[in-house]
Amino acid sequence: MADMTLPEGLLSLMKSVDTPTVCNAIEVAQGKRGFNNYTKRTMHASDAEAPAMVGFARTAKIAGLEPPTETPDVIRARRMDYFRHMASGDGPTVAVVEDIDGDDAVSAWWGGVHTAVHKGLGMEGAVTNGVMRDLGDMEPGFPVLAGAIGPSHAFVHVRELATPVTIFGMQVADGDLVHADRHGALVVPPDVIGDLKAAIEKLIETEELIIGPARSEGFDFAALEKAWAAFEKART
């Protein structure tokens, strides 16, 4: 999808909730279970306490297990094109970078230098199936969600820009709306964006029908039965 203007209040609300909440809210908006465009493997968060990153995807593909076969001039030019692409757009953006080496990925694209550069270009954070390094020295306020942690950049180089990528089962097109935190990442379906704020608010209100009583003194099975009935009624 192309970048779009988000409904008023949606961005701040999405930043205030975690990715599991947004996953559930998407199903509320769709009126059914089965949403599945999210990461499906445990990932590493550079900062587990960081708030959710929300933004429109700027996609790219990298590799680094083997040396590039193109000339250094071509590789350097494409890297500058990469940064130009990452800097594009008006709304909040998130770098979504697929390492095509997959499970054999060893090249850390994300470290102290690149997190500082991408944050300086105005980006919110990064999601990758690849490698990050420089833990403790990465740029504050720029969270990275990565597939692995390693020490070396190896032969890392950019292969593609603005093409569809896959991050542990999550399929992302350039411009898709992404939500990510320490739990993983997801792509918000375009057709629910207009309803998502109301869905998140409804989800929070509905869950309180269970959480509130469960935290109250004297909560027992009878109280659970009553609360769960109200919970189920509110969900349907």
Rounded mean pLDDT, 24-40: 96
Backbone angles phi, psi at 157, to 5 degrees: -155, 155
CATH of the domain at 101: 3.50.30.40
Task: Based on the fold, state whether residues 164 and 112 are members of the same structural domain.
Answer: yes
- Over residues 84-103, the pLDDT tens digits come to 999 999 889 999 999 999 99
- What total number of domains does the chain contain? 2
Task: Based on the fold, state whether residues 147 and 218 are members of the same structural domain.
Answer: no
What letters, b where the CB count within 10 A reaches 16 and e where it falls short, cover 50-65?
A: bebbbbbbbbbbbbbe
Partners of residue 69 on adjacent β-strands: none
pTM for the model stands at: 0.95
- Over residues 135-184, the pLDDT tens digits come to 999 999 999 999 999 999 999 999 999 999 999 999 999 999 999 999 99
Task: Write the single-letter amino acid at 135.
Answer: L
pLDDT, residue 138, reads: 97
Q: Does residue 5 surpass a pLDDT of 90?
A: no
- Domain enclosing residue 81, as ranges: 36-188
Split at pLDDT 50, 70, 90, the class of 234 is: confident
On whether residue 26 sits in a domain, the answer given is no
How far are the Cα atoms of 43, 44, 213, 236 from residue 231, in angstroms, in the given order? 32, 34, 11, 9
Query: Nearest-5° angle of CA 60, CA 133, CA 38?
Result: 50
Task: Based on the fold, state whether residues 208 and 176 are members of the same structural domain.
Answer: no
Phi-psi region of 54 (alpha: psi -120 to 50; beta: other; left: phi over 0): beta
Whether the CA torsion 209, 212, 214, 216 is positive or negative: it is negative
